[in-house]
Structure 1
C-alpha cells in the first residue's frame, strides 16, 4: 500500500500547485517592433511603454479595444458639480506584493507624476487639471479641478497607479530593476532587459479574473525580417507591426492568422519654430545660416505640406496599409472636422509659395526621425526627402533608434521631425492639447509640442472646449480648434497607420485602435 500512498500524495501535491500541470501549455512569446524605454510608468509617455506597462499597472479607468472608457481600479466616477468629481475605488484589490490598494496610493501617484526627473515626455498633461484631492475613506476620493474638465475620466486611464509602500523613495532605476515595479495588474515583472526582452508571469488572484497565460515573454525584434522569421520558426507565437511587404504572403499561409484595424495613430511632422533664427539642421543651400526661421512663415509650412504626395505614400510606401491624413485622427473619432481635407499634392504650388516667402531657390534641411518605431518610418522619411528635392529644397535624411531619437527631439535638437501620435482618449481635443497647444508645462498644455507652434485662436477654442460640459458644444469647439491649426499648418499630418498583427495557428488576437499589444487579448483557440 505504501507506493500507492506516495503516488496519491504526489498527485494531491501537484493538484494544489497552481497551474503546474499546464505551465508549459500556458506560455507564450510575442515579438515587438519597438523597445520599451522604461518600466517606470510615469517616466516616458510613449505607446510601447504604455502598452507594456498596462500588464503590470492599472489606471483608475481603462479603455477597451475601441477606446471606450470603462471601469478600472475605480468602479465609478461622477461629477458632483463642474469642478468636483467623486471617485469610488475598487475594494479587495492587492498589489503584487500582497499589500492592499487604497486611496493613499492614488494620492501618492498623482503627486509623483509631474515630478519624475528627466522625463522625455511627461504624463503631467493628464494630472495638471487636478488641483486638490481629498480622501473621504480608503475607497472614496474627491477630486477638485481648477476649471471644468470633462476629459478627467479619460485622462485617468493614462495614469497608472503605483504602490506608496514601494514607491516612496523609489527612482526610475528602481522600477527598471524590478525593485519598485509593484502594480495591481494581471502580470508581474520577472525580467526587463532593455532592447531585448521583458518577461512577465501571471498575477494569480488578480481581481479581473484568470489570465490566458502563466508566463509571457516579449521579445524586442525591431528588424522586420527578424520579426517575421521568428514567427515562422515558432520562436514567437505572435508579432505586432507585420511588415507591409509581407502581409499578402503571410495572409495566404494556412498556419497563420492575421488581424488588422485602422488605428488612432497619425504619422506627422513637427517643424521647429522655437527660435527666430533657423533651427538646427536648417540652412541656406551653401550651408550658411539663414537670416530667419523659415518654419515661422505659414507659407513655408503650407508649401512643405503641399509638396508631399500622401496618396503615393499610403499606396506604395505603406502598401495600402495607411490612410492619408488631414488632421490628428480619422474622422470616425470625436472632435474631428469633416471640413478638413487631405492637402492636395501640388509641387508647383509649393514652389510658388516658397518664392512668395522669400525662398525662390529653396534652402537646405535634414529630416530626422526614428527607424524602428513606426511602420516603415525610415522609408517615409526617405519618400518625403524625394518630394522636397523636387521643389528645390536640398534634403538629407538621418534616422536613428527611437531610444536615441525621442530624447533629442524633446530637447529640440532637430529642425524637421517625423513623429507619430496615438490619441489614447479617442477624441481630438486631447491630441490638440498635447501636440499643438502653446507649450505651457505649468498648465499641462503642449507637453509634446516639439514644434513649439503657438496660435492664440487655437488656444482659446481648446481651452473653452476643455471647460465645456455639453458634448455637442464641446465637439464644435474642438473642431474649430482643429480647423485653425490645420489650416495654419501647425504641423504636417501624413497618414494614419493601419495596424496588423500575425499569430500562429491556434491563437487569436483581438485588434485595438490604440495599437496596444496585450497578452490578455491573445487567446488560445480551443
Structure 2
C-alpha cells in the first residue's frame, strides 16, 4: 500500500471543526438529518457520467458519488477496502480480491466477480481523451474464481495494483458490450453501487442525485444532492454567501480572506497533490506555434534543445506567482510530488529565477534574439489558470521569447492537444494515488497507446532510461526500493526539463457555517464527507 510520510500527514488539517451558532442563510437553513438536500457548487464540469471515460478529477469525483471501485483512498490518499473487503498476493504475479458480501447495484442486481471482470475489460475499449487504461495496463489476465472472488494476473510483480484499482469503477455486466459513454446520461445505464443514485444530468449546469437507501456502507447524511456546476468564480462565491449552495470548491484566492472574515461561512484548506505545469513540444522538428522573433519560419523546433527548455524554466519567478497570483494558496515546485510525500526527491531543486542566465542559455542555443511562441491553456479549470498564463507570457517575453496567450475552455484545449496542435501549454496533474507512478507513466512516459503509457504526454517527451526505471519500480515489491527507483526516474526527467513545474496547488473549500469537511489531498469534493457539526 502507498503512504504519505508522517511529516506530510501532520501538516494537513485534521478536520474542519466549525464553531459558533449556525447561520440561517435563507431557504438553505439546516433541517434535521436525513431530510435535507445538500447543494454543492463545483468549479469544473464532468466530461461524462460514464465512469470509464476520462481520467479527469471533476469526472472522477462525481463518479465517486454513484460508483465504487474495489479499493478506495482516504483523505490522505491511503488505500483502504471498498467493494473488495480484502486482497492478497497468491504469488508474485497473481492478486486475489474477495468481494464484500451483500452488495447490490442501484437496479437491485447483486455485485459479482463477473461484474468486476466486465468493468476491467471494458476500460481499454472506451474512446477517451485520457484513458483509464493506464490503471489496467498491468493486468494480463482476469479469472473469476467464484461469485465473490476474482484473480488478476500481471506479467511481472506489480505491487501498485490495489492502488490503481481505486480508479476503476465497477459497473454491471448486464449493460452489455459496447455500451456508449453517452448512454450513461440515463438513469437506466448510470448504475453503480455507490451511496447516491443518479437522477438527472443537465450538461454544464447540474447533476441531481438521491440517497441509495440500500447502500451497504454508512448511510449518507443527505437525502438529495444538487451537484451544481458553477465554473465562474464570482457567481460561485455569491451562491455560497446568498445561501443558494451550502458548499463550494476552489475558493478564488482573492476571496479567501473575505470569506474567513464572514461569520456566515467557514474556509477549509489543505495541501493537494496537484502540480500545475507547462508542457512543451519536444517531439516535432517543426512545432506549430513557434516562429522566429519577427514571425519568420524556423527550420527547427527550439524546444528540442535542453538549453532552451531550461531558459524558459528559470525565466519564471515561481515565488512571485505563488504570492501575487495565487496569494499563498500554492507551493513553488520543481517536481511532481510535494515535500513530505512518497516519491518526493529532496535533491531536485525548485528552479531558481535567473533572467540573465536564461538569456545566456538562449544565445548559446542559437537564439540570441529569442523566438515567438503561443502559450495555450485553460481558463476554466485550475485556480487562476488564465492569470498564470498571462504572467508566464510576460516573464518569457522579458528574455526575448515573445509569447502570445491563448486561454480557452479545457475541453477545447484537450482537443487541440490530442491533435498535436500546441507547442507550449499549461495543465495540471494530480498524483492522487499518493505516489508518483501515475505522472511517470501518463505524463512523462513514452507515448505508447497500446500499452497505456504516455496517454497524457502531449509534448511527446521520451526517455528510455526513465521508462526503464519507472517500469522497474512498478515491478518492485519492496516499497523503499520502489520509491528510490521512482525518485531516480523523476530526477532524470526533471534534469532533462521534460516539462516545467510551476507550483503545487492548495485546495480551498468554503462551507456554510455549521457544516464540516475534511480536506482531501486529491482535491475531491464529496457529498458523503460533508456533515452537520455535532
- After superposition, give the CA deviation of every residue in 1:13-35 in whole Å (9 maximum; x if it has no partner): xxxxxxxx968841110111111
Mapped to 1, the partners of 2:420 and 2:167 lie a distance apart of 25
Secondary structure at the aligned position of 1:157 is classed as: helix
Secondary structure at the aligned position of 1:42 is classed as: coil
Per-residue deviation, 1:52: 0.7
Q: Is the 8 A contact 1:121 1:410 kept in 2?
A: no
Is 1:88 paired with 2:60?
Answer: no
Is 1:409 paired with 2:445?
Answer: no
Is 1:130 paired with 2:131?
Answer: no
Query: What is aligned with 1:9?
Result: none
- After superposition, give the CA deviation of every residue in 1:475-520 in whole Å (9 maximum; x if it has no partner): 1111111111101101100000011001012211111000000001
Query: What is aligned with 2:154?
Result: 145
Q: Return closer, same or farther for 1:254/1:298 CA change in 2, 3 Å cut-off.
A: same
- After superposition, give the CA deviation of every residue in 1:135-175 in whole Å (9 maximum; x if it has no partner): 11011011110121111010000011111112434201101
Is 1:314 paired with 2:331?
Answer: no
Is 1:234 paired with 2:246?
Answer: no
Is 1:446 paired with 2:454?
Answer: yes
Secondary structure at the aligned position of 2:140 is classed as: strand
Mapped to 2, the partners of 1:339 and 1:202 lie a distance apart of 48
Per-residue deviation, 1:213: 0.4
Specify which of 314, 325, 328 is matched with residue 333 of structure 2: 325
Query: What is aligned with 1:17?
Result: none
Mapped to 2, the partners of 1:22 and 1:314 lie a distance apart of 42
Mapped to 2, the partners of 1:247 and 1:205 lie a distance apart of 39
Mapped to 1, the partners of 2:34 and 2:474 lie a distance apart of 50
Q: Which has the larger radius of gyration?
A: 1
Q: CA RMSD in A?
A: 1.3
Q: Which moved more, 1:37-46 or 1:287-296?
A: 287-296
Query: What is aligned with 2:399?
Result: 391
Query: What is aligned with 1:99?
Result: 109
Mapped to 1, the partners of 2:273 and 2:484 lie a distance apart of 20
Query: What is aligned with 1:15?
Result: none
Mapped to 2, the partners of 1:108 and 1:25 lie a distance apart of 36
Unaligned runs of 5+ in 1: 1-20
Q: Is the 8 A contact 2:34 2:221 kept in 1?
A: no
Unaligned runs of 5+ in 2: 1-30
Specify which of 355, 372, 385 is matched with residue 377 of structure 1: 385
Specify which of 160, 175, 181 is matched with residue 172 of structure 1: 181
Mapped to 1, the partners of 2:65 and 2:261 lie a distance apart of 32
Query: What is aligned with 2:503?
Result: 495
Specify which of 79, 92, 103 is matched with residue 69 of structure 1: 79
TM-score where L is the length of structure 1: 0.94
Query: What is aligned with 1:156?
Result: 165
Secondary structure at the aligned position of 2:310 is classed as: helix
Q: Is the 8 A contact 1:37 1:194 kept in 2?
A: no
Is 1:259 paired with 2:250?
Answer: no
Query: What is aligned with 1:206?
Result: 215
Q: Is the 8 A contact 2:33 2:221 kept in 1?
A: no
TM-score where L is the length of structure 2: 0.93
Secondary structure at the aligned position of 2:279 is classed as: strand
Which gives a bigger RCO, structure 1 or 2 (Cα 8 Å, sep 6+)? 2
Query: What is aligned with 1:219?
Result: 228
Q: Is the 8 A contact 1:161 1:183 kept in 2?
A: yes
Secondary structure at the aligned position of 1:398 is classed as: strand
Query: What is aligned with 2:312?
Result: 304
Secondary structure at the aligned position of 2:191 is classed as: coil
Secondary structure at the aligned position of 1:484 is classed as: helix
Query: What is aligned with 1:185?
Result: 194
Mapped to 1, the partners of 2:438 and 2:220 lie a distance apart of 31
- After superposition, give the CA deviation of every residue in 1:67-91 in whole Å (9 maximum; x if it has no partner): 0000011111111222111111111
Is 1:37 paired with 2:36?
Answer: no
Mapped to 1, the partners of 2:86 and 2:420 lie a distance apart of 41
Secondary structure at the aligned position of 2:467 is classed as: helix
How many aligned positions are there? 504
Query: What is aligned with 1:347?
Result: 355
- After superposition, give the CA deviation of every residue in 1:167-219 in whole Å (9 maximum; x if it has no partner): 43420110123331100011111111111111111011201121010100111
Specify which of 290, 296, 301 is matched with residue 288 of structure 1: 296
Q: Is the 8 A contact 1:167 1:180 kept in 2?
A: no
Secondary structure at the aligned position of 1:173 is classed as: helix
